Amino acid sequence: MKIVLYLMIGTVTYIQASVWSPDTGKGSYRNPILHADYSDPDVVAVGDDFYMTASSFNCIPGLPILHSTDLVNWKLVNHALKKQEPLDFFNIPQHGKGVWAPCIRYHQGEFYIYWGDPDFGIYLTKTTDPMADWSEPMLVKAGKGLIDPTPLWDDDGKVYLAYAYAGSRSGINSVVVVAEMNSEGTRVLSGPVLVFDGNDGVNHTIEGPKFYKRNGYYYILAPAGGVEYGWQLALRSRSVYGPYEARKVMHQGETSINGPHQGGWVETVFGESWFVHFQHKDAYGRIIHLNPMTWVNDWPVIGVDADGDGCGEPVAEFRKPQVNRNSEPVAPSESDEFDSRTQGLEWQWHANYHEFFGFPTESGYMRILAHRLSSGCINYWEVPNLYLRKFPAEEFGATTRIRFTAKEEGDRGGIIVMGWDYSHLSLVKKGDRLVLEQAICMDAEQGNPERTIEVATLKFDEVYKVGSYNYLKDIYLRVEVAKGGSCRFSYSEDGVKYIAVGEKFKARQGKWIGAKVGLFAVQPAGKNMRGWIDADWFRITALQK
């Protein structure tokens, strides 16, 4: 760290510290284990190590790889997907498209991740080392509306793939099918066989199947009932193609944990079963929970089943899993000093990376080049090089020190909270004036314009000519996020005294993703030379009132 941040602003103290930790330090954990948007998680155990992946949709790099040794403390260690195919399609923002509900498996020394792209089909990437590069995406089955794949290597050497359908593309939903693959798991050989129909008036919106085999039974664990208020089903059969019996094995019950479903079962070396899943939490996205899982008469029960009816309820706090190696408590998201030639793992772009987006450096800053907006652009839904990270906790502060360099009229850069609704605090060159503005946009996907508020007029620190004039300003920008996603911006010219400005803004999730916070630079259409911002650091801090 360059400096440790201890700043007083009104009645709120900002301390460089972990903003969320699930580990109580007393042999137990609290949910969520990740208060961050790792949607549709799946997990695999390899010896004493656990690996998790999650949906990444249009955000790149995609397919996050998280590692843990105790299922409670997780660290982001890699991404399996550097760019999305087809490149021409994903080189521009494709909100809500891309990677849906991946499944991670380990088979004969290799890690496999399958995922559905609802517009193109089912893909696979694999590796022998999850910390290293993963293979280029392989199209296992082409087709529109195919989602949520999960493989099963059977005892007789056959390989199967269970998957579901996106009604938005196929006109079909609430069904699960199974098809046979080749022995390498790289190509679907047979047509699909319907194994469960959720169009029964009871189990609507069944999706996200995860395929397993245990004690001679085939199991498909799948959520139903919808993201916000659904439940977890277990399907069981003696035959891979059914018929399958269905049982509800986890629901919200009397708890405050809504929609507890869509995840994966994992077994430790001590034979304990655990279930990792998500909870929908509005602006924060789909945050991750860990629940105990027991087996009763060859049926799984997830959570705690106090009334003994075979359907559990999610836990708020529970003993930690029995493991050989406990992880040290880790923060789900760390601050970035931008001292590396490689991009920090917590950062993602809104489209496939292009060199015109910006560059990391070893000189202590990250450069974000101004994106040229299209003619007539009225909001940032189209901007691919928003440099963003997930909300890491329910409450936190995000502070950055940037050097703004304007070269053209209308060049702009600053800090942004992005979602369907978004707001930013940014510097903009207006003639010889340097203006600090807050902008607010509601329902950006619908093409609504920003509303801007001038909050201060500042002076450039330096103006010099290198071919064209460069207009420079060093500034500190901050957003503090309170419970419920309430955001308030502030700025400082000396890094000590911060001034709260503009209006409070309520963060809103994006298209299938939680709200994000980060950096941006843009310029109007028709300009010749790109301006930029150089971010010295970006720090996530705990709020202590």
**DSSP line for 72-98:** SS-EEEEEEESSPSSHHHHTS--TT-S
Mean pLDDT score of the chain: 94
Q: Report how far residue 511's alpha carbon sits from residue 133's, in angstroms, rounded to the nearest whole number.
A: 28
Tell me what percent of the residues of the chain surpass a pLDDT of 70: 96
Q: Is the pLDDT of residue 10 over 80?
A: no
Q: Looking at residue 3, what is its pLDDT?
A: 35
3-class secondary-structure state, position 357 = helix
CB 73 within 8 A of CB 124: no
Q: Report how far residue 470's alpha carbon sits from residue 462's, in angstroms, rounded to the nearest whole number.
A: 8
Q: Is the pLDDT of residue 544 over 80?
A: no
Q: Which residues contact 106 (CB under 8 A, 6 or more apart)?
A: 44, 45, 46, 112
Q: Is the pLDDT of residue 455 over 60?
A: yes
Q: Looking at residue 333, what is its pLDDT?
A: 67
Q: Is the pLDDT of residue 358 over 70?
A: yes
What burial class does residue 4 get, using C-beta atoms within 10 Å of its C-beta: 0-12 exposed, 13-18 middle, 19+ buried? exposed
What are the beta bridge partners of residue 538? 336, 400
Write down the architecture of domain 25-319 according to CATH.
5 Propeller (2.115)
Banded pLDDT at 18 (limits 50, 70, 90) = confident
pTM metric for this prediction: 0.95
Domain boundaries along the sequence of the chain: 25-319, 355-544
Please compute the mean of the pLDDT values over residues 160-184 and round it to a whole number: 97
Q: Looking at residue 355, what is its pLDDT?
A: 94
Please compute the mean of the pLDDT values over residues 478-501 and round it to a whole number: 97
Q: How many angstroms from the chain centroid is the CA of residue 112? A: 20
CB 265 within 8 A of CB 286: no
Q: Looking at residue 467, what is its pLDDT?
A: 82
Q: Is the pLDDT of residue 507 over 60?
A: yes
Please compute the mean of the pLDDT values over residues 64-80 and round it to a whole number: 97
Q: Looking at residue 12, what is its pLDDT?
A: 40
3-class secondary-structure state, position 14 = strand
Please compute the mean of the pLDDT values over residues 69-81 and round it to a whole number: 97
CB 316 within 8 A of CB 237: no
Q: Looking at residue 545, what is its pLDDT?
A: 64
Please compute the mean of the pLDDT values over residues 172-201 and round it to a whole number: 97
pLDDT tens digit sequence for 300-347? 999 999 999 999 999 999 999 999 988 888 766 679 999 999 999 999
Q: Which residues contact 418 (CB under 8 A, 6 or more apart)?
A: 380, 386, 388, 510, 515, 516, 517, 518
Write down the architecture of domain 355-544 according to CATH.
Sandwich (2.60)
Q: Sign (positive/negative) of CA torsion 131, 137, 138, 140?
A: positive
Q: Is the pLDDT of residue 6 over 90?
A: no
Q: Looking at residue 1, what is its pLDDT?
A: 31
Q: Is the pLDDT of residue 4 over 50?
A: no
Q: Report how far residue 80's alpha carbon sits from residue 409's, in angstroms, rounded to the nearest whole number.
A: 40
* Pairing outcome for strands 62-68 and 75-81: antiparallel
pLDDT tens digit sequence for 148-170? 999 999 999 999 999 999 999 99
Q: Is the pLDDT of residue 15 over 90?
A: no
Least reliable range by pLDDT among 261-275, 281-295, 456-470: 456-470
Q: Looking at residue 133, what is its pLDDT?
A: 98
pLDDT tens digit sequence for 418-441? 999 999 999 999 998 999 999 999
